[in-house]
Every structure is written in structure tokens, then in C-alpha cells.
Amino acid sequence: MTKVFVAGVGFTKIAEHWDRGLDELMAEAALKALEDAGISSVNAIYVGNMLGEALQEQAHLGTLLAEDLGLVGVPAFRVEAAEASGAAAIYQGALDIASGKSETVLVVGGEKLSDGLGEEVSSALMMSGHQEYEGFIGADFYALNALLYRLYDKRYGAGGVAMFPVISHDHAVGVPHAQYPFKLTLEKVLSSPFIAEPLRRMEVSGIGDGAAAVVLIGERSAEKIKSPKTMLHISSSSDYITPFERENPLHFRALTMAVENVIREAKVERREINFIELHDASSIMAAISLESSGFAAPGEAGRLAEKGEFSLGGRIPCNTFGGLKARGHPVGATALYQVAEAHLQLTGRAGKNQVDSAKIGLVQSLGGVAATAFAILLRGV
């Protein structure tokens, strides 16, 4: 197996882009990534997207993008794994390089949620759950998170969990591509209305459009391509879709497995990881994610967040550009944003968000309520 490197990244601002289509956003991100890598074509293209059929009535996004990029002829297709679709596309791209089949791969994540009405988007996002069971009765993502939050509060006390959106917003201030680049106080979080009690509106990510892209290359190309590079490792695991069918719903076992596998593969220790890009689609998922991946003891993540351990300058900064909550969560694009941001950190291009002497970063991406988990480890070279 050859090593896999990130050699270029690009992304759009996350916003409600009323005047731009999904394919245009993806093309912008893709062209920026190619430019960052200093190349004009690739051996293969993978697209991460969850809701193209539901919101744009558009399948076939791979070839559509190849055409938009003037790269007709390049094999191109879409990969789907609910909210982790972008990470699944990276996984396929990395396998393609590692196998030796391709030397250069473009992975693009794109999602355009503003093409649906609010109720249509809520409905479409339920596709990450088990439709014949959870979906039929309206147990949507927020409901499942709210029930987890209740169980968590009963077992451990949920104090401090509401700090996660505060931290993400702190980090997003002044980030040009962030959807919500402003501070959010804990008081504002705790006085926002419930979206599903005890989960509050300001504890969950919003609705936005965006696209992000990375160029992956193999070892031979790494000698020729002169752009700043990082080495990439990726692992994934799955769990029962409904969290309440797991032995312990307060433990994201798929994430545990993915993280353990990726750090073993990369031969690093947890304490060597300098920062984490978390899947904070909700505050409670951020807390359980840190605990499940071994960066906080069960029930402790909120308290550590209050102490500043996950803030820039803290023990292990999380969501260094604002995470899903403040940078934004254009579902299938999100993991590409996370990897792009981690790459900027590790190549010293993170500006005021720079984690000092960052050498290793961990990206976590989850589908549904952690029924699919990806762990992506990037290291500077």
C-alpha cells in the first residue's frame, strides 16, 4: 500500500447561496483545491453528498461535476453515508490512491440545503435514521439527541455540555468561510428555545449550503507536487442505526473503533494529537464523541470544556475554525471542510486560528447518531 497525502484544499463560504447551484459550489471548491495543489487534472473524482436526490432531484453528481470542471473522461462518482458522506468519499479516494490504481484523486463534498423548505430539509435529514421505524413515528435527529441528552443527564449530570457551541462560536469569529462567525455566550445558549427538550436551538448546527474539496496524491506524485502536504490515514466503523438498540447508547462504539484503528494504523498515541475537529451536530454528540474516542472520561467532557481544555490554547483544542455549529454543517460537505481545516493547521496556514506547532490532527465524522463513524488522522510532513 502506498501512502496517501493531502496536497491541496479548497472551499466556499458556507451560507444560504440562493443564487448558486449545488454543482457550481462544488466546482468552485474543486478548482480552488486543484489550484492549491498546483495541478489541473486527476485520475479520479469522488463526490460526497447526502441529499441530492431529495432536495435537487439530482443524482449522478460525480459525472456532472467532472463535466463542470472540464474533466470529462475522468471516472467520477458519488459516495453516500448520511451526514458522513464526505468522509466516505475521502475513504474511497484514499483507498484508490493506496491501492495504486490512481496517483491523484479529487474528493469533493457538496450540499445545498437551502433548496428545500425548512420542513422538507427536516424530513430529508430523517433519511439518516431508520425510516420504517424512527422515521415513521417522527423520531428525528433532534428527538434522538434529546433522548440521549436525558439519559446522559441522568447518569452523569449534563453540566458543561452546553459549552460546546460556545467554544465553536469563539473559534469561528473572523473566519471568512464560517456561516456564523460571531460569539455566542453560554447565557444565550441556555436561553434559546428548545428544539427538542432538553436540547436547545443554539446547541444544534444550522442549515446552510457549501462545498469543500481536497486533492489526494500518492507517494510518487508527492515527489513532484511541491504544494504543502500532510499525510492522511482513515478508518471507519458502523453501529446499530437506532442508538437505543445499542448496549450503551451513551457510548459511540463505532467512533471508538474508528479512532482506535486509525491511531494504530498511523502508529501515534492519543497524547500526540494536537487538535480535534469534532462532529458537533449537537452539543451532546460533541461531549459523547470526546468521551467515546478517549479524550475525556465518561461524563467528564462538559466539565473539561468549562475548564477551557478544548478551546484554542487549551490542552486539546476542538473545532479550530468553528466546527459544525459555527463554521457550518452542509451535511455531505462537512468532512471535507474538517479535513481542509486540519490541513491548513498542519501546514501552518491557519492564521489567527493556528494551533501552535501542530503536528497531528484528528477529524471525526458521524452519520446519523454515530451509526457510521469515520476517524481521519492527518500529520504534517
Contact residues: other proteins, CB under 8 A: 117-120, 122-123, 126, 132-134, 136-140, 142-143, 146-147, 150-151, 154, 193-199, 240, 242, 244-245
137 versus 356: smaller Cβ distance to other proteins: 137
Distance, CA of 51 to CA of 127 (rounded, Å): 9
136 versus 182: smaller Cβ distance to other proteins: 136
Between β-strands 194-196 and 209-217, what pairing exists: parallel, antiparallel or unpaired? unpaired
Beta-bridged to residue 366, according to DSSP, are 373
161 versus 215: smaller Cβ distance to other proteins: 161
- What is the closest distance, in whole angstroms, from the C-beta atom of residue 197 to other proteins in the complex? 5
Q: Name the H helices within 225-274.
A: 253-266
Specify the 3-state DSSP secondary structure of 41. coil
Distance, CA of 28 to CA of 360 (rounded, Å): 28
46 versus 141: smaller Cβ distance to other proteins: 141
- What is the closest distance, in whole angstroms, from the C-beta atom of residue 298 to other proteins in the complex? 18
137 versus 176: smaller Cβ distance to other proteins: 137
- What is the closest distance, in whole angstroms, from the C-beta atom of residue 247 to other proteins in the complex? 9
Distance, CA of 339 to CA of 359 (rounded, Å): 14
Q: Residues of 56-73 as b/e, b for ≥16 C-beta within 10 angstroms?
A: bebeebbbbbbebbebee
Backbone dihedral region of 220: left (phi > 0), alpha (psi from -120 to 50 degrees) or beta? alpha
Residue 78: φ, ψ to 5° = -100, 145
- What is the closest distance, in whole angstroms, from the C-beta atom of residue 117 to other proteins in the complex? 8
Residue 105, H or E segment: strand 104-112
Number of other CB atoms surrounding residue 131 within 10 Å: 11
Distances (CA, A) of 128 to 92, 167, 291, 345, 366: 20, 27, 23, 31, 11
Length reported for the chain: 381
139 versus 335: smaller Cβ distance to other proteins: 139
51 versus 215: smaller Cβ distance to other proteins: 51
